[in-house]
Amino acid sequence: MNRSKIALLYLGLGFLTVSCENEMEDMKMESFSKSQNAVVAPSSSQAIHEKFALNLPTDLTPLSENLRNVLFSEAVTPSECAPTEFVSVQNKYAKPLVADPIAIGNYDLYTQLSFIYPYYLDRSKQYFGANGEYTQLVVKRQRELEKFWNMPDEIRINGQHSATLNDREKLADIFEEFGVGVESRADAYAIADELMALNAMSPNLPESPYFSLDGFAAGNNLIVIGDGLVQMVSESGIATDIVWTGILAHEWAHQVQFNNTAAWYPNGAANDPSAATRYTELEADFMAAYFMTHKRGATYNQKRVEQFFTLYFQIGDCQFTSTGHHGTPTQRMAAAQLGFDLADSAQKQGHILTPQQAHEYFVSKVDGLL
């Protein structure tokens, strides 16, 4: 694989955003390390720091639109958005991180490691959920999505697990491939052993769900879903099967968009970057809801799907001028409702619109969502 040609496309980054009245701003989140190779341990030194430096492809898109970065952003436009239960869940897990000098000092390093492995290196047989408890569900949904959108064997789904950060072989894989100054497997093992020693000293490394919080679609036919993301959203009051299905369906919709970018967005989805992201995200919401509700899709009734979208979309996005703006809660719910209604109208005949037909329907209705 030519890793220098792999790049994340903006469509799939950052399925979630956070409530504009995020209480975590009061927790001095600026104390998070700004360096990817910070190490807080009794033996810390510049020499030790350098051991953890990573040499990544230069075309790797920054994760500025990923949920973990949006959560800690203070650049929030005032609005009438209100905090939801998801904010309480965020705080529940953020406070221990802030209070833990080892975890807080290595937050950037560990989140980068947790991203690198499923994105670049993991070709193993996948499992979903910390103990594989949702593997069967995800495999079932993948098969349904492949059939629904006529994309057999096209998309690969990788799970992101905090356990990776306490796995000597996987950590060594990362540093053998990307570690600066790493010349042998033995060097990579030595670094992995130091990180595992840090884990033993911290109650939050790597157990915190913040270290498996990614959820994105990439332009190389890959979807990554983190255990921590599902856990935190589920703890907000959403049934876990709906969380898995909703995230996967939304990210799958981005893959459909990737396949049709030239035809659907020849000049971009909109002139303004924030409007362009909002447009593609709302369309992904619409397509996800269409699949989740359809008789030949996930077959959820409207009440169950609304449970997912109502809370999930209300957890954020008041960042109206951000290039990661996904639409207001009202707009996202309206997009989901559009998908509900379209699927419901086809229940009797069981007809599935092609991606092109679904896109054209969305284009004809999108002005009413904004």
Q: What is the pLDDT of residues 84-97, one digit of tens each?
A: 677 788 889 999 99
pTM of the prediction?
Answer: 0.82
Q: Which residues sit opposite 228 in a β-bridge?
A: none
pLDDT for the residue 236: 84
Q: What integer pLDDT is reported at residue 198 of this predicted model?
A: 94
H-only helix segments in the chain: 46-51, 67-71, 85-99, 101-105, 107-116, 135-148, 168-178, 185-201, 227-234, 240-259, 261-264, 273-293, 302-314, 329-345, 355-365
CA dist 220 and 59 (Å) reads 14
Of 72, 90, 105, 67, give the one whose Cα is nearest residue 205.
105
Task: Render the burial of 212-227: b for 16+ CB within 10 Å, e for the rest.
Answer: bbbbbbbbeebbbbbb
DSSP lists the bridge partners of residue 218 as 222
pLDDT at residue number 348:
64
Predicted pLDDT of residue 58: 66
Gap between the Cα atoms of 220 and 223, Å rounded: 9
pLDDT at 309: 72
Q: Which pLDDT value is given to residue 145?
A: 98
pLDDT of residue 84: 60
Give the chain's residues under pLDDT 50.
1-37, 40-48, 61-79, 81, 318, 320-325
Amino acid 294: pLDDT = 93
Q: Is 300 helix (H, G, I), strand (E, B) or coil?
A: coil
Residues in the chain: 370
**CA triplet 263, 265, 268: central angle to 5 degrees?**
150
Question: What pLDDT digit, counting tens, does each position of 288-325 carry?
Answer: 999 999 999 999 987 887 777 765 565 555 454 444 44
Query: What's phi and psi for 17, nearest 5 deg?
Result: -140, 170
pLDDT number for residue 306: 76
Q: Say what the pLDDT of residue 314 is.
A: 53
Q: Which two tokens stand for residue 144?
A: 């349904």
